Amino acid sequence: MHFKESPKISVPIPGKNTQRIVAMDSKYLATGTKGSPVAIKWGRGVRFEDLDGNLFLDFTNGMVAGTGHCHPMVVQAIKDQAEKFLFFNGPDFYYEAQSKIAEKLCTMTPGNFPKKVFLSNSGAEANEAALKVSRSGTGRKQFVAFLGAFHGRTLGALALTASKTVHRESFFPMMPGVTHLPFAYCYRCAYKMKAETCNFWCAQILEDVYFKSVLPPEEVAAVFMEPVQGEGGYVVPPQGFVQTIKKICEKYGILFVADEVQAGFGKTGRMFAMEHFGISPDIINLGKALASGLPMGATVFDARLDFPVQGRHSNTFGGNPISAVAALATIEAIEKEKLLENTRKMGEVFKQRLLDLQKEFEEIGDVRGLGLMLAIEFVTDREKKTPARDLRDKTIENCYKKGLLLLPCGVSAIRFTPAMVINQEEVEQGLEILRESLMEALKA
């Protein structure tokens, strides 16, 4: 391993070995979301080597591998379990790891009330389960979600998703009964109001307008909300917005569902992002970083909402033993290594460096985020807030060619989701590459 030398690009990207994989991928895999032509060979922490020997910093995969690439505790747990058994039919029979992760999730999630868990394979499945739990538990059929939201691409979850038209086109009609409201994206307020004087109109409108015109509140089963919108641009809403929506839900007997698939499991500096808002959701949906990169989702809900009969909802691989032990090891690593504390500390350093860049570059219109879930938004004009997508995309391209892997999100933003194990040297290295890459993009 030569990670102390990284990032180091010795072969122009993509190199021959990576080109071979890209060609295979294009020929045999269904069209997905791939952008940067980078193929990993192996990784540790926030660093990895590609198939051509190039060394990179990874500011993307902490979204899922929150404890970093190949965290030793997680790897050891996987090895130990793999030598015992790889699969046992969890929905029909029993094994310890499945019961232990369910117990852990029930006790660690916000809310001082009895809970139950449905274990699945992904965040989309967690949201699908939440839809069914909400319908079954309340007897109601309609839902509220937000513009900019991403809850998955399966047809039920897709009905809630509203971040990009490409996700929804060709799939109409979807599950009926979802009403979308503008999210509290204060940098680009849909109502052209000012955060200081709006009195959270984007939340109040649900009760003052929608409930009086098109959406009977007694028919609404649940409101689905990301505490920090992911694909929508890493948008952090004001506390008052979230709290107002929760109060409206309580007033009308509507469930509050927190989609923590992208924001949960430590990335914001708290184990669950809703803790920043003082909210205890009725249902919390988890995925991505739950098992440090192994496929696992979870729907944690108020026990009173549990399905009344067996067989109403189930699956085959949810809570599989390998993912279950990986999730338990992930929680143990976060606690033992004080990764939440490191996330808060490094998040402050990271965000301050981004604010410094904003002072230097007029094209950075907004800096936002919590912990190590951060974003900058590019504009051509700060006053008009005109999106600068081409500049964003060129900056990302320049970055990967210099050894820093990044992902876009939202209107014209770059998201930063390094693993929670990142140190200050790695933060500084990455943001210097970002600075150089942005300068080159502006000169092009």
Task: Determine the pLDDT at residue 224.
Answer: 98
Can you read off the two tokens belonging to residue 124? 């989309």
pLDDT over 80 at 46, yes or no: yes
Asked if residue 290 is part of any domain, the answer here is yes
Q: Average pLDDT for residues 223-233, to the nearest whole number?
A: 97
Task: Determine the pLDDT at residue 6.
Answer: 74
> How many domains does the chain divide into?
2
Same domain, 204 and 295: yes
Same domain, 115 and 196: yes
Asked if residue 41 is part of any domain, the answer here is no
Q: Average pLDDT for residues 237-241, to the nearest whole number?
A: 97
Same domain, 267 and 342: no
Coil/strand/helix, residue 117: strand
Same domain, 286 and 179: yes
Same domain, 317 and 348: no
pLDDT over 60 at 129, yes or no: yes
Final residue before a domain boundary, out of 336, 369, 401:
336
Q: Tell me, letter by letter, the H, E, C secondary structure of 356-425.
A: HHHHHCCCEEEEEEECCEEEEEEEEECCCCEECHHHHHHHHHHHHHHCEECEEECCCEEEECCCCCCCHH
Q: How far apart are CA 429 and CA 341, in angstroms?
A: 21
Same domain, 384 and 428: yes
Task: Specify the CATH number for the domain of residue 11.
Answer: 3.90.1150.10
Can you read off the two tokens belonging to residue 394? 């060129």
Task: Determine the pLDDT at residue 5.
Answer: 72
How many C-beta atoms surround the C-beta of residue 69 within 10 A?
Answer: 22
Final residue before a domain boundary, out of 336, 357, 372:
336
> 200 with 206: CB under 8 angstroms?
no
Kindly give, in sequence order, each residue whose CB lies less than 8 Å from that of residue 145, ignoring residues fewer than 6 positions away.
151, 160, 161, 162, 178, 179, 180, 181, 223, 224, 225
Within 29-175, residue ranges assigned H as helices are: 72-82, 96-108, 123-138, 155-160, 165-168
Task: Determine the pLDDT at residue 3.
Answer: 58
Give the pTM: 0.96
Same domain, 320 and 380: no
Final residue before a domain boundary, out of 283, 313, 336:
336
> 320 with 87: CB under 8 angstroms?
yes
Q: How far apart are CA 212 and CA 42, in angstroms?
A: 56
- DSSP one-letter code for 45: B
Asked if residue 82 is part of any domain, the answer here is yes
> 143 with 222: CB under 8 angstroms?
yes
Same domain, 172 and 217: yes
Asked if residue 249 is part of any domain, the answer here is yes
Q: Average pLDDT for residues 98-126, to the nearest whole number?
A: 97
Same domain, 26 and 167: no
Q: What does each C-alpha distance from 235 to 36, 50, 253 come to in angstroms?
A: 24, 31, 27
Same domain, 128 and 253: yes
Asked if residue 40 is part of any domain, the answer here is no
What does the pLDDT look like over 22-42, one tens digit per residue?
A: 999 999 999 888 889 999 999
Same domain, 290 and 168: yes
Asked if residue 414 is part of any domain, the answer here is yes
Coil/strand/helix, residue 275: helix
Which structural domain range is residue 130 located in?
A: 74-336
Asked if residue 387 is part of any domain, the answer here is yes
Q: Which residue has the tokens 């540790």?
A: 44
Task: Determine the pLDDT at residue 444.
Answer: 82
> 357 with 345: CB under 8 angstroms?
no
Asked if residue 322 is part of any domain, the answer here is yes
What does the pLDDT look like over 319-350, one tens digit per residue?
A: 999 999 999 999 999 999 999 999 999 999 99
- DSSP one-letter code for 207: I
Task: Specify the CATH number for the domain of residue 182.
Answer: 3.40.640.10
Same domain, 225 and 146: yes
